[in-house]
Amino acid sequence: MIFDELKRLQEELARKIVLKPLERLPEIVAGADVSYARKEKRSYGVLAVLRLPELEEVDQAVAEEETPFPYVPGFLSFREVPVLKKAFARLKRRPEVLLVDGQGILHPRGLGLASHLGLELGIPTIGVAKKPLCGEFDWPADRAGAWKPIYLEGEVKGAVLRTRKGVKPVFVSPGHLVDLESALEVVQRCLVGYRLPEPIRKAHLLSQRVKK
């Protein structure tokens, strides 16, 4: 029963999502990641803030709390939004755009983690996931920068982007206050030769250190 209620909440929140081009390319971007200490049932939310184009780290924040919700595909935001909001409140430098390790509108009900978090924070967000949750697509060419659209119910909801030759692509979708074209441009400006964009990679490395 609780999942029926959460589905209705997701559908209600999804109607509030705004997709639009960024007015200008950001100078300050952040990456968000969450890690878990399963035995202790603790969650560690991490944000790494970088300055473009150098991708120099200028701020970071960490928050910890009891994991509030089990892992259920399609409902990740109820597990990770609380601890990421807590970490965001501790930043000294507010990012202009937030890259999130998860889905944006590329979600069965249009409200992945990046979209939900963007609504909560009132900030442009971009989902960059390692696996697709839904949608139909063709694989892009094996070269950095190649991408193909992802369709969901006949509409383009994201893109499968090859960030590096010879490695698996990532799945990019707008979260909130950004459109797909702007999202792709920001993500590609954050690449330095790894599969993941640098803000998310930095956040992930930090979250693993914090967990240990």
Using one digit for the tens of pLDDT, what is the confidence trace for 29-88? 999 999 998 776 899 999 999 999 999 999 999 999 999 888 898 999 999 999 999 999
In the numeric block, which tokens belong to residue 195?
Answer: 């599969």
Residues 6+ apart with CB under 8 A from 207: 33, 34, 35, 44, 45, 46, 62
Query: How far out from the chain centre does Cα 32 lie?
Result: 7
- When the pLDDT of each residue in the chain is averaged and rounded to a whole number, the result is 95
pLDDT above 90 coverage of the chain, percent: 91
In the numeric block, which tokens belong to residue 179?
Answer: 């459109």
Query: For the residues of 190-212, what is the DSSP string, one character each?
Result: T-SSSSS-HHHHHHHHHHHHHH-
pLDDT grade for 155, boundaries at 50, 70 and 90: very high
Asked if 21 contacts 191 with a C-beta cutoff of 8 angstroms, the reply is no
Element (H, E) at 176: strand 170-176
Tell whether the model's pLDDT for residue 91 goes beyond 90.
yes
Tell whether the model's pLDDT for residue 135 goes beyond 80.
yes
Mean pLDDT of 145-158: 97
pLDDT grade for 1, boundaries at 50, 70 and 90: low
Per the structure, the count of domains in the chain is 1
pLDDT grade for 149, boundaries at 50, 70 and 90: very high
At 105, which CATH number?
3.30.2170.10
Mean pLDDT of 112-139: 97
Using one digit for the tens of pLDDT, what is the confidence trace for 6-32? 999 999 999 999 999 999 999 999 999
Q: Give the pLDDT confidence score for residue 66 in this predicted structure.
A: 92
Q: Which domain holds residue 53?
A: 2-211
> On the CB side of 36, how many CA atoms lie within 13 Å of its CA?
11
